[in-house]
Structure 1
Amino acid sequence: MERLLVLVRHGQSEWNLKNLFTGWKDPGLTEQGVTEAHKAGQQLRDLKLTFDIAFTSVLSRAQRTLDIMLEELGQTGLETLKDQALNERDYGDLTGMNKDQAREEFGEEQVHIWRRSYDVPPPGGESLKMTAERVLPYYKSEILPRVLEGKRTLVSAHGNSLRSLIMELENLSPEEILKRELGTGTPIVYRIDENGGVLSVQDLAD
């Protein structure tokens, strides 16, 4: 029995384009983001992958990316579960601020710490550690059981919620996961063993 899990970061959003901290705000996809979502669906179709269930966040950029991929796959109407556990990291007081502006206001080093440390949250927001503490229980209770049943599973989410999953799947340290860059609209295909371990990983950005 094949156990398949595919993770996709949403296509470029309007706030990605403007270099703003986005978090739980809900901007839509740019034209480029729509194109990236179509390409992701085409890549999955080229691999002849189909899915039994999908998961996404409650934010529209992830949901629209998923919808476009499913259109490309001819799987509109696929059973989809939406949960805020898969939302992007909450950037708190930085939300909506231009990243260059934030560096000017708080200093390059402080903003770097907020963005690239594992357990230091920005004011009023979440660290990656805190993000993982909501993502991983949801993964273990809702997503992984479906994968282990043999349901081919597609997850459309966000850079930091997906980093939390990748850290778990690939047994990465906090230092290693912080260096991991995830492109927008790029599928990562995992084949999973009966215990939830990774047999193989294929990053379609490569």
Structure 2
Amino acid sequence: MGLRNLDGASITGCKERWLSPRDIASERRFSIAIVLRSCLAESHQLSATAAADVDVDSLQLTPFTGGDTRFVIAQTLEIAERAAMQGAIDHSEAEWIEMTCRAAETLDAPHITCVHVDYKTGNLCLTETRNGYRVSDLFDFHEARFSNGTQDLLRHAYSFIDFDMSCAHEFVRSTLAHGGMPFRIDELMRLFVINDRIKIWEYFTQPEEAPVIPAGLRFRDWANHYLESGVFKV
């Protein structure tokens, strides 16, 4: 779906209204969190009998060998290996990632849903109506798959953890309370946070990328910032 076809305004993704979540007034943040919760609950009604990759053009499903958790583990270890090869993580961090992956091997989601993976304000458009906001468009499905829906909580919550913890908590809490996640959140969250953060870390520490990660910051400390925030504990 191209941006030219969108009828709303993206909070972070369209030139017409380029706002970071920090620029959103606090009273609007809660309203938007509720709207995103509702959209997520609706999209997660689309389910499958097994975890699978999805071709967004043909809608063809390719099941993951070994299930969803093993797919996430394999992806995490592959990206961590690349990060280690380019010196972005050290040996102790690589071991920490591997131990986290192994601890989650026997866990899996009892319910598989359509997961966006990059679900955040920058990848959707909001339209203001007489009754508040609604999500009018959702885009950037390059990571979408049928998987554990917990993963769709991550990136929107991250965007508020550094400066509005209450909004991050509200988004996660209300999504769980209103049926967006039909299973416990804490079983696989450590794996999912590390999987998500190592993708970002590996990409932005590539030699050809402009340096954006502060000098001296270690991956484990950065990932633990989110893990220890308390937002993902219920």
Per the TM superposition, whether the score is higher than 0.5 is no
Q: TM-score, normalised by structure 1?
A: 0.26
Q: TM-score, normalised by structure 2?
A: 0.24
Of structures 1 and 2, the one with the larger relative CO (CA 8 A, separation 6+) is 1
Task: Return the index of the structure with the highest Cα Rg.
Answer: 2
